[in-house]
Structure formats: C-alpha cells, structure tokens
Structure 1
C-alpha cells in the first residue's frame, strides 16, 4: 500500500508506508493505553519514533509517556482516521486484545495505512463460526461445535458437559460449562448478550492439557516464539475453569510443537497474514491428540513479560519491526530458539469473588515471603474497593510473575504462594479463588 506516488515522469522515488521519509521520524499511532502498552511506547520513542496513543481511557498509563494522546473510543474509526491525517501517521500498531486487533484492521481499511492482517482475513480470526469453517476447510482438528439460539426448540445432541460461549466475544466473558440442555439454554441467553452478533456456540468440552502458542509471521513464513502451559483451576461449577498459571516454556512442547506450527502456517496463509503475530490456544493429550480451541491475530495479554523473563526476546521489538523494519524482524525470529530459554517463568493469577476488600495483609505478606523468586507483582485493587467481574473490570485481584532455574523450583514457589496468598472481605472472609497445580505425569 502506498503512502503517495509521484507522477511517472518524476525522478523522486515512490514512498511506501513503512519507509523512511527523508530520514524524518516516523509518526506511529498506537491503539491502546493500558499498562501493557507502556513499554511499547517507551521503546518506540527510544527508536526515535513519534508516538500517538489513542483509546477511550483518559487516564490510560501509556498516555503519560506518549508524544501525543487522544481520548477517542477505538471503535470510532472516522475519528481515528482524522487523527492519522492530522498527525501525519505513517504506521499503526496494537496488541493484546481481539477488539483492538479488529479496530486496527478497520482503521487500515479507512486510511490505507497497512496493518499486518487484511480485514477479510481478520473476520476468520474474530468470528467463531467463520473460524470453525476455516478449520474444516484446512482439516484442522477442533472440538465439535454448533451455533445455537436460546430460542431454538431443541438443542443438538451432544455429550455433556459442554461449553456455551459467544460467537464473537472477548476475554472469556460469557463462557460457561453446562451439564444438560436446560443449563445450556439458560447460559445461551447470557452468551448471546455478550456476543456482538447475538449468537452462541455450543462446543464439546475438552479436559486435556491446554497450551498458548505465540507465533510470528515474517514474509509469509511462521516462526514459533513460545509455547506455554495454560493451567486452570475450578472454583465455580458452572464457570469454565479459571486460568491460574501460565508457564514458560511448556514442559510438553516437544510433543506439540511440530503439529502446532504446521497448523498456524496453514491458517496464516488462509487469512493472508504475511507479517505479524498469530497466536493459538489448543489442547493436547497422548490419547486424543491435538485439538485447536481458537486462533487470534494478536499477542496473548500479559505473556510478553514472561517471554522476556524466560528468553530475553521483547514482543515490543517484534511489533515495531513488523511495522518499520522487516529485515530486523526476520533476523530476530531466525535467532530465536524456543528450546533455548534460559529460565523457567510463570504468571500466577489470583481471581476473587465480587466483594469489597477489607484487608490485603495476607497478599502483601505472601509476596514478601516469596523473596527473589518474584520478578513482578501487580495488585489491581485497594482496601475498600470492590472486586468486579463486569466489562472493563479485572476479575483477578493480583498477578505475580515468578522465575526459577528449573520446573521443580518454580512449582515449589508457586505452591507456597497458592497456600499463603489471601485477600479478605470486610467480614474477614477470604475472597480468593483457590488455585491448584496440575499433574504432568
């Protein structure tokens, strides 16, 4: 896609999006301002790029570090396009969210500024029904599923338990485990409310090991960036088990890497993604083999830190290279080896029930007692605030990153925190969901 084209008789060469304009600084628009974007803004500025951060959050942390900021809803493509014109934007970027990815593609269509995935391909990575059709076309194994409506006279005959989820949602909201048709019908109503299309999917429940894979495409070739164990724990019977720990690298990656990478390669070609991130959530067991849950055109939220802690590779560098420096992108990916991570790392998620926090003393003490194994910790609420599960709220009260030399040490530190971490409500009752370590035998 061209930025501009001179007449054919002009001796001035054609300028393309992403190329240097007379060595002037690039003007980069970043969709998203929450805490995970801060390092992206700082790294872009260190490279000499002028940063313009835009979203609807007036107090977004990344806006404090940007050269320019705008408080505009990311869904307002016309207003965003006006910002691009006013600020002479020559590159757009985002990460970590399906909605941000979708808005990036729409902004690209409106302005002509390239994004890493065409809108037609984006639809296959956002709409669950189109995604399932793509899996069928590519012969990709996936749990059996059906589009259902709460108003249907009867539901498909399936083996329970199964999962009800929105056709087009985000953040695992509106996703439920159901034990019979009556529960399925009731939960379909809630899933339809969350779905942007007002539809729900009924899907076979897979209890096998679960994985997150981050891959990156450079000139059409897919490179594995990471494979992580996605561990879950059960607290509420009708909810999908909550994510309790993400472990880098996966201790089972030798069993899944080759097939997983081949699947992502086929999908990236199908959707027309030639440069940029593509991530896959999937299941595997020796008995059932590999089944793909879903594939997204973005980086998993809160995993870029784990990638850096365990391997030294920065997602932020990959994102910026994708926009402005394809040569460096290829070099970074070719030099990166998922079998050579220097440390084992994990992210712990402590979810909480909806309640007003009375005391966080147990959480503070647990983190302090964990010592040097803690790389970073984030507390999302203060005493007196209410933990919420609604849109825009954090369902977990804390996130903690741990690092260790091996899996045994990592598991030991994890177990100690699972046992000691606590947050209480105003009556002194614990509000923290219990977390458990799985067996890998």
Structure 2
C-alpha cells in the first residue's frame, strides 16, 4: 500500500520536503492557510485551511486516509501538528499534554528552574497588573532581576513582540507593547543576556539526544535601543568545544522529565566565558530557513530525517552513525538581511550578490513595488546560503556581502539594515587559557 503523508506547511521552506516525499514514492497532501504557497505545486493534493483549524484538518486527514503527518520550522506548526495527529489518530513524537514544555515559555522556564538548569531570571506579569499598577510598583515586582531586561509574549516566536527594558521607567511602556502581540493574559519579563548566542538542533531517538548541529547565532543591533536582530548563523560554531558537552547534558536532562522519546529537539542558548550556558528556549522542531545548512555543511538532510521517522525508522540510526559534527565537509552560513518598512524599488545589488562564488542558494522575498511588512509572511528582505572551505574565507565573503548589500526605495533611501560580525577571538582565547 502506498503511503500518504500530510505535510503541514506550503511556504518555500517546505518545497524540498514535499519533493523528497514524492521521490520516495509517497503520495503528498499539503495544507495551510497560504493559497500561494510555493510547495503546493509539487504536492499531489493541496488544501487551503489555516493550520489552527485543528478539527477541520483532522477530518481532512481521515477523509484523505493519510497515514502520516509531519511539519517543522515553527512553534505554531509544531503545536498544530501535535493536536491534529492526536485527533486524527496519527503517529507523532509528542502528545498534547507535553506541548507546554515546548510551546509555553513560562512552562519551559518553570521546568528549567525545577531541574536546576541555567536560564535567565524572570517574572510572569499579568496584563491587568501592568495597567493597574504604578511604575514604582512594577519596578518592585521585578526588583531582584538585573537590568537590562526584555519583555516577551508567552506564545509567539521569531522575536515577535520582544522589547528591551533598560531601566524601571521603561517597564510599563515596553511591557504594554509586548501585550499587544499576545492573546495570553500574562507576559514574561526576563534578564537580557548579551553573551554569545547559539542554535542547537538535535534528534531524540530511544530517549537519547543525538546532536545534529550547533551554530553561532549572530545578531546585530540595527538601531540604538532596538532588540538585536538575527543576521547570520554559522555552521559549525567556532565555540563548539566550549559549549557542546554542557548543552547536550541540559537537553538530555530536559527530555528525561518531559518524557520525549523521539523526534526533533532544538535549543537556543547563551554562553559567556567563565559564566557558562543560559538556556533561552527549547523547542520540539527544527529552525526554519536554517535547517538547510546541515545538508550544505555535513551532507545531513533534515527532510530525509523527518520522512524516515514516519516510514523508515531503521534508517535513522544509520544517519547518525555516519554523522560527526566535528567533521564538517565545509564551513557554511545563512546570511539574513532585514530592513525598514518601506517600498521596494531597486533590488539590483541584492540580485548581483546572488551570483557570487560561494553562494549555494539565495532567497529574495519581495518583488519590486511591494512594501516591507513587519512580521508578515516574508521573514526577511533576503537571505543567502553560503559555503567556503574555512571560517576565515566564510567571514571574508560575509564581510563583502555586508559592504555591498543594498535595496532602495523609490526615493533612493536605503532599506537594508547594516549587519556586523561579532568578535570571537577574546572568547576563544580566554577559554583556552582556563
């Protein structure tokens, strides 16, 4: 009998997953709320249903007689997949009762705190409390936390609704801004860690965490007081020896208590010389617009892993037996460009960069004449997957991109924010001396 899989997601990052499923001989059904999703044209059947319509998609699964459902790349998609699978009686590596530990930032923090695992200090504050209390009372509520702080929604992802609080006078204003981004009755205020940041992707098999990759997650403060935005993720991390063992131990302890036995597991964390790791977030999915780097750098396909979990589990062990994060085939990075909310007029420089040696794939998200939309379906202005033989060569290529990238509006104003590469040498040297 031919397998039929429902793939929850039709945007560009799902194109390869749909294509690979088809090449493996599986019948593919694609579903989400984006009618123009590019992955649709590669599917056998597709439906335009918002992913949050759980019951409706569960009925679709039964009507289409699918025997598997898979997604990744966002917390919302993960949550919906888990709930749909439960209602439709399909296999899934998480159950609805486990979701809070992967989806609710406060539940994650409470568990980390209970386990004695390192994370920034935090407070949950109700939106009503924010509106009712004075600045002095609000300051006293977070009095034991160390500034700067950040306020964030409990139910969003992709840096949505996150603001930096520099002093007590800013708490009310910034926190109420965050409240506009959430449907929850509470928000999270936590200490802001300005250390080096990392993205770690792993897979759980037989309750054992298998590391796929650890990357440097570089961010740039685009404007003074603005939350730094993601600008480059580099594989493998140049600080891998400093963070790998501790990070792996944290995830192993975490799933021992959540009960996750299989499936995707990712973590964003901070590290400072002499201070160790602090966990930012733990998720039950892979990172969107970044998972491609595991194949570019290691030859390790995330799409193949996801499909193997559904239908050929015996191949997963083989994949990890030949995978070594310390032996990359080359160095790789995804470079992100973000910008101001202006109208796109001239992208010629961005298109020219796509022709550069070392560019594996480019993604220019807007058409000329479109207006940049914050938190719309396009996550960036453009991104470039790049690869070179050494980190030094990769950094040189990146620097040239940062100098030459430009997108202009009709008045000739620059839309693109200026990216920067952080300094790593001091961190590497200080640890080697220790």
TM-score grouping bracket, smaller chain normalisation: over 0.9
SS of the aligned residue for 1:254 comes to helix
* TM-score, normalisation: structure 2: 0.93
Equivalent in the alignment of 1:353: 340
Equivalent in the alignment of 1:124: 101
- Asked if 1:100 corresponds to 2:87, the answer is no
Residues 212 and 280, structure 1, Cα contact 8 Å, conserved in 2:
yes
- Asked if 1:77 corresponds to 2:42, the answer is no
1:196 aligned residue (170, 183, 191): 183
Equivalent in the alignment of 1:225: 212
Bigger CA drift: 107-116 or 217-226?
A: 107-116
Residues 196 and 271, structure 2, Cα contact 8 Å, conserved in 1:
yes
- Asked if 1:392 corresponds to 2:377, the answer is yes
Residues 367 and 417, structure 1, Cα contact 8 Å, conserved in 2:
no
Spell out, residue by residue over 1:271-301, the C-alpha distance to the aligned partner (whole angstroms, 9 max, x if none).
2221111000000111211110010010011
Residues 122 and 271, structure 1, Cα contact 8 Å, conserved in 2:
no
Equivalent in the alignment of 2:87: 110
Residues 366 and 378, structure 2, Cα contact 8 Å, conserved in 1:
no
Equivalent in the alignment of 1:58: 35
CA distance in 1, matches of 2:313, 2:354: 41
Residues 169 and 196, structure 1, Cα contact 8 Å, conserved in 2:
no
Equivalent in the alignment of 2:22: 45
2:361 aligned residue (367, 371, 376): 376
How far did 1:415 drift? 0.3
Spell out, residue by residue over 1:337-384, the C-alpha distance to the aligned partner (whole angstroms, 9 max, x if none).
10011100001111110001121122223443xx22111111111221
* Equivalent residue runs for 1:281-292 within 5 Å: 281-292=268-279
Residues 118 and 273, structure 1, Cα contact 8 Å, conserved in 2:
no
How far did 1:152 drift? 5.2
How far did 1:118 drift? 1.4
Residues 168 and 195, structure 1, Cα contact 8 Å, conserved in 2:
yes
Equivalent in the alignment of 1:182: 169
Equivalent in the alignment of 1:311: 298
* TM-score, normalisation: structure 1: 0.92
Bigger CA drift: 167-176 or 223-232?
A: 167-176
CA distance in 2, matches of 1:101, 1:234: 29
Distance change in 2, residues 1:167/1:152 (3 Å) = farther
Residues 365 and 378, structure 2, Cα contact 8 Å, conserved in 1:
no
Residues 118 and 272, structure 1, Cα contact 8 Å, conserved in 2:
no
Equivalent in the alignment of 1:435: 419
- Asked if 1:151 corresponds to 2:136, the answer is no
Spell out, residue by residue over 1:140-165, the C-alpha distance to the aligned partner (whole angstroms, 9 max, x if none).
10010101232252221132211111
SS of the aligned residue for 1:151 comes to helix
* Equivalent residue runs for 1:271-290 within 5 Å: 271-290=258-277
Residues 83 and 95, structure 2, Cα contact 8 Å, conserved in 1:
no
SS of the aligned residue for 1:92 comes to strand
How far did 1:323 drift? 1.4
- Structure 2: tracts of 5 or more residues without a match: 426-434
CA distance in 1, matches of 2:193, 2:181: 22
CA distance in 1, matches of 2:177, 2:311: 42
2:224 aligned residue (227, 237, 248): 237
SS of the aligned residue for 1:424 comes to coil
Aligned residues: 415
Equivalent in the alignment of 2:281: 294
Spell out, residue by residue over 1:40-77, the C-alpha distance to the aligned partner (whole angstroms, 9 max, x if none).
01111111111111111111111111111111111111
CA distance in 1, matches of 2:176, 2:154: 12
CA distance in 2, matches of 1:414, 1:325: 39
Residues 357 and 386, structure 1, Cα contact 8 Å, conserved in 2:
yes
SS of the aligned residue for 2:225 comes to coil
Spell out, residue by residue over 1:144-195, the C-alpha distance to the aligned partner (whole angstroms, 9 max, x if none).
0101232252221132211111111122100111212232211211212222
Residues 152 and 188, structure 2, Cα contact 8 Å, conserved in 1:
yes
Equivalent in the alignment of 1:205: 192
1:91 aligned residue (47, 55, 68): 68
Residues 148 and 166, structure 2, Cα contact 8 Å, conserved in 1:
yes
RMSD (Å) for aligned C-alpha atoms: 1.3
CA distance in 2, matches of 1:198, 1:170: 17
CA distance in 2, matches of 1:80, 1:215: 28
CA distance in 1, matches of 2:132, 2:166: 18
CA distance in 2, matches of 1:57, 1:263: 37
Equivalent in the alignment of 2:117: 140
